[in-house]
Amino acid sequence: MLKPRATATRDLVSLDGLWRFAISTAVGERPWTRTLDTPLEAAVPASYNDQFTDSAIRDHVGRVWYQRTVRVPRGWAGERVILRVGAATHEGRVYVDDVLVAEHIGGYTPFEADITEQVGAGGEFRLTIGVNNELTHTTVPPGRITVTQDGRRTQTHHHDFFNYAGLARSVQLYSVPSVHIEDITVVTGLDATTGTVAYEVETSAAAAVRVRVLDAAGAEVAAADGASGTVRIDDVTPWRPGAAYLYDLVAEIVDGDTVLDTYTQLFGVRTVEVRGTRFLINGEPFYFTGFGKHEDTPVRGKGHDDAYLVHDFQLMRWTGANSFRTTHYPYAEEVLELADRQGIVVIDETAAVGINLAVVGGLGGRPHPPTYSPDTCNDDTRAAHAQAIRELVARDKNHPSVVMWCIANEPSTHEEGAREYFEPLVELTRKLDPTRPVSHTASLLTTFKNDLIADLFDVLCLNRYYGWYIATGDLATAETYMEADLRGWCEKYTKPILITEYGADTLPGLHSVWDQPWTEEYQAAYLEANHRAFDRCAAVVGEQVWNFADFQTSNGIHRVDGNRKGVFTRDRRPKAAAHTLKARWSSLNGRKPSSSG
Residue (483 or 501) nearer to ligand GCB, CB: 501
Nearer to ligand GCB, 297 or 443 (CB): 443
What CA–CA distances, in Å, run from 311 to 250, 339, 565? 31, 13, 19
CA 362 to the chain's CA centroid: 27
Q: Annotate 32-101 with DSSP letters as a single string.
A: GGS----S-EEEESEESGGGSS-HHHHT--SEEEEEEEEE--GGGTTSEEEEEES--BSEEEEEETTEEE
Among 11, 97, 160, 248, binds ligand GCB (CB under 6 A): 160
Among 139, 277, 443, 446, binds ligand GCB (CB under 6 A): 443
What is the Cα–Cα distance from 5 to 18, expressed in whole angstroms? 23
CB 245 within 8 A of CB 239: yes
Residue pair 329/293 in contact by the 8 Å Cβ criterion:
no
Query: Strands 272-275 and 278-281: what pairing?
Result: antiparallel
Q: Of 239, 244, 233, 228, nearest to 186 (Cα)?
A: 228
CB of 440 vs ligand GCB, minimal distance in Å: 11
Shortest distance (Å) from residue 415 CB to ligand GCB: 17
The binder of ligand GCB chosen from 93, 565, 575, 592 (CB under 6 A): 565
Give the integer Cα–Cα distance in Å for 172 and 211.
27
Is 439 one of the binding residues for ligand GCB (CB under 6 A)? no
* Residues carrying an active site annotation: 410, 501
Residue 18's nearest CA partner among 64, 66, 57 is 66
Q: Smallest distance from the beta carbon of 49 to ligand GCB, in angstroms?
A: 18
Of 268 and 562, which has the nearer Cβ to ligand GCB? 562
Nearer to ligand GCB, 61 or 444 (CB): 444
Q: Which one of residues 485, 501, 535, 543 is an interface residue with ligand GCB (CB under 6 A)?
A: 501
Closest distance between ligand GCB and the C-beta of residue 410, in Å? 5
Query: Rounded to the nearest whole angstrom, what is the least distance from the CB of residue 326 to ligand GCB in the complex?
Result: 12
Please state, in angstroms and rounded to a whole number, the distance separating the CA atoms of residues 357 and 474.
Answer: 28
Q: Which is nearer to ligand GCB, 300 or 564 (CB)?
A: 564
Which CB, 432 or 470, lies closer to ligand GCB?
A: 470
Residue closer to ligand GCB (CB basis): 410 or 479: 410
- Residue 62: name the closest of 152, 148, 1, 141 by CA: 152
Q: Which is nearer to ligand GCB, 160 or 337 (CB)?
A: 160
Q: How many Å from the N-terminal Cα to the C-terminal Cα in the chain?
A: 44
Please count the helices (runs of H) and the strands (runs of E) in the chain. 9, 32
For the beta sheet containing 91-96, the strands, ordered from the edge strand earlier in sequence to the opposite edge, are: 41-44, 17-23, 63-71, 124-132, 91-96, 99-105
Measured between alpha carbons, how far is 580 from 525 in angstroms, rounded to an integer? 9
Give the strand order in the sheet containing 272-275. 272-275, 278-281, 284-285
Q: Which of 157, 159, 399, 575 binds ligand GCB (CB under 6 A)?
A: 159
Question: How big is the chain by its Cα radius of gyration, in Å?
Answer: 24
Nearest distance, CB of residue 544 and ligand GCB, angstroms: 11
- State the nearest-atom distance from the C-beta of 564 to ligand GCB, in Å: 9
Site for ligand GCB in 179-218 (CB under 6 A): none
60 binds ligand GCB (CB under 6 A): no
Helices marked H in 496-540 — which ranges? 520-535
**Between 157 and 159, whose beta carbon lies closer to ligand GCB?**
159
DSSP letter string, 444-498 = TT--TTT-SSGGGSSSEEEE--BTTTBSTT-HHHHHHHHHHHHHHHHHH--S-EE
Task: In angstroms, give the least distance from the CB of 562 to ligand GCB.
Answer: 10
The yes or no reply on residue 463 touching ligand GCB (CB under 6 A) is: yes
How far from the centroid of its chain's Cα atoms is residue 130's Cα?
A: 23
CB of 43 to ligand GCB, least distance (A): 27
Reported residue count of the chain is 597
- How many residues contact ligand GCB, by CB under 6 A? 11
Pick from 67, 163, 401, 409 the residue near ligand GCB by CB under 6 A. Answer: 409
∠ CA 17-300-331, nearest 5°, is 95
Smallest gap from Cβ 234 to ligand GCB, in A, equals 45
What distance lies between CA 465 and its chain's CA centroid? 22
- Taking the least distance from each CB to ligand GCB, the nearer of 48 and 162 is 162
Q: What is the SS3 assignment for 502? A: coil
Under the binding rule (CB under 6 A), the answer on residue 296 touching ligand GCB is: no
Among residues 410, 479, 485, 520, the one that binds ligand GCB under rule CB under 6 A? 410
CB 381 within 8 A of CB 138: yes
Binding to ligand GCB (CB under 6 A) within 304-363 occurs at 328
One of 95, 546, 568, 585 touching ligand GCB (CB under 6 A)? 546
Residue 563 lies near ligand GCB (rule: CB under 6 A)? yes
Residues binding ligand GCB (CB under 6 A) = 159-160, 328, 409-410, 443, 463, 501, 546, 563, 565
